[in-house]
Amino acid sequence: MRSRRMSLSGWGRFPVQECEVWRPERYHDLMLREGAMTLRGQGRSYGDAALNENGNVVLNARVNRFIEFSPDTGLLRTEPGVTLEEIVSVCLPHGWFLPVTPGTKYVSIGGCVAADVHGKNHFRDGSFGAAVQAFELLTADGARLSCTRDNNSELFFATLGGMGLTGVIGEVTLQLRRVESAWMKVRQKKSPDLERVFADLADGDPEDEYRVAWIDCLARGRHLGRSVTMSARHARMDDLSGTRRGQPLVVAPRRKRTLPFNFPGWALNSLSIGVFNHLYYAREGARGGPSVSDYDRYFYPLDAIAHWNRMYGKRGFVQYQCVLPSDTAFDGMREILERLSRSRRPSFLAVLKRLGEESGGLLSFPMPGYTLALDLPLRGRGLLPLLDELDRIVIEKGGRVYLAKDARLSAEAFRHMYPRLDDWLAIKGRIDPDNRFTSSLARRLGLEPPHG
């Protein structure tokens, strides 16, 4: 196998690093024979989780075979490089959908396990890990271990959300969820301030399977936190009109557009974002009764635009996503939003969701509470110090920052946010004492074996 020297970055395009990139075609070649390595799926984590500066990066994109799928039970087993897009296109026609999905379908199933990703239904269905029945872990000593909640359970929970640092995540067995159609029944409503959006996320219609709020984070004063709250559930047969009812599991493919070049630095500023937010709040919030949307538009609006990350210009952007526990979330989010609107560093996209129970993954992000995700363009000085300030608020309120989106957290702040780090490090020391599985993120945050 040959390797190729490449400049790589995550989806946020910051940082950019030189890596030695390998692309195996066969399952057993996912594990490099020698040297330290980082596994990389579709490169959709935002920061440096799938980077290894001046070291080996192994792509799983070609190791993407479906091994088994039962249209009766919805149990699916695939190699780690299979993307969520492929799963939907193969399984949805049989009436099975992803139990949990992040906001893009262009991610690998291995990456979903590594980051224990979540979706808009976390408050009721938990994270991706909740639907993972088993996975195979290729470990530093050459073993292929089957990990489930009962078998190698310590490794199961160290790997779920463990950012690929315990071994190569191999075949994954996933329980899909039954759906009657490929359509979603969606309701939108205005939540005029922070108090209302918290309430709307916490107790909406019990039929809602998905709930999320888009926040206008330039709004200040009594409008602080004003949002459009979107709730949805998978449409049932009687939600569909006659023509759709004939073929409920089929939707026409969307035309895919692409952003052909980087936006200039000034394109996204507080003025343009302010205007956009105003219009969006007024228009989307005013859309009366429930509407029916296809799953693709509902779950993956940005997937229709290839390279949408170019919107943030050449220097890229940082995603800042934090979760705060239920009892401190309201005060904490208010502080964060005030800090943000005062800084006049607008986030083009700001999303608030309620999260439910933890998955048990030692380094998994979700905890019961509220999570806020922000897209912040890297521009001028002051952004990184601002985020350090937000870290302090998050730590004070007992919350944490999401590693799959992180590019800049300090090792010290990280340690405060993830209380089970020492348990994880002990397992890492046993399963990978020579630190064969590493990444730029792992080095930055001290995710290395204690004696390594």
Partner 1 sequence: MAESTTGTVLVLGAGSAMARGIAAAFASHGHALYLAGRDLEELERIASDLRVRTGVDVDFGQFDALDTQSHAGFVQAVLAEVGALAGVVWAVGYMPAQEQALADFGEVQRIIDTNFTAAVSMLDVCSAHLEKESGGFLAVISSVAGDRGRQSNYYYGSAKGALTLYLQGLRNRLHSSGVRVLTIKPGFVDTAMTWGLPGLFLVASPEQVGRAVVRAVQRRRDVLYVPWFWRYIMLIIRHIPERVFKRLKL
Q: Residues interacting with partner 1, by CB under 8 A?
A: 1-4, 23, 25-28, 62, 64-69, 79, 90
CB of 405 to partner 1, least distance (A): 29
For residues 42-68, b (16+ Cβ closer than 10 Å) or e, as one string? Answer: bbbbbbbbbbbbebbbbbbbebbeeee
CB of 187 to partner 1, least distance (A): 35
| Residue at token pair 């949307």 | 293
- From 268, 245, 233, 5, select the one nearest 97 (Cα to Cα): 233
> How many angstroms separate the CA atoms of 368 and 215, rounded?
20
Residues paired with residue 352 on neighbouring β-strands, in sequence order: 213, 372
Q: Which is nearer to partner 1, 7 or 241 (CB)?
A: 7
15 preceded by a cis bond (ω within 30 of 0): yes
Indicate the residue among 3 and 269 with the shorter CB distance to partner 1: 3
Least Å distance, CB 30 to partner 1, is 12
Least distance to partner 1, CB of residue 65, Å: 4
For partner 1, the closer CB: 25 or 150: 25
Nearer to partner 1, 67 or 411 (CB): 67
Crossing angle between the packed helical segments 383-396 and 326-343, to the nearest 10 degrees: 160
Q: Which is nearer to partner 1, 119 or 170 (CB)?
A: 170
Nearer to partner 1, 27 or 317 (CB): 27
Task: Enumerate residues 6+ apart whose C-beta is below 8 A from 113.
Answer: 80, 128, 129, 132, 135, 159, 160, 169, 172
Rounded Cα distance, 238 and 414, in Å = 48
Residue 234: which H helix or E strand, with range?
A: strand 227-234
- Closest approach, Cβ 23 to partner 1, in A, equals 5
Q: Tokens representing 99?
A: 């139990």
User: Smallest distance from the beta carbon of 156 to partner 1, in angstroms?
Assistant: 23
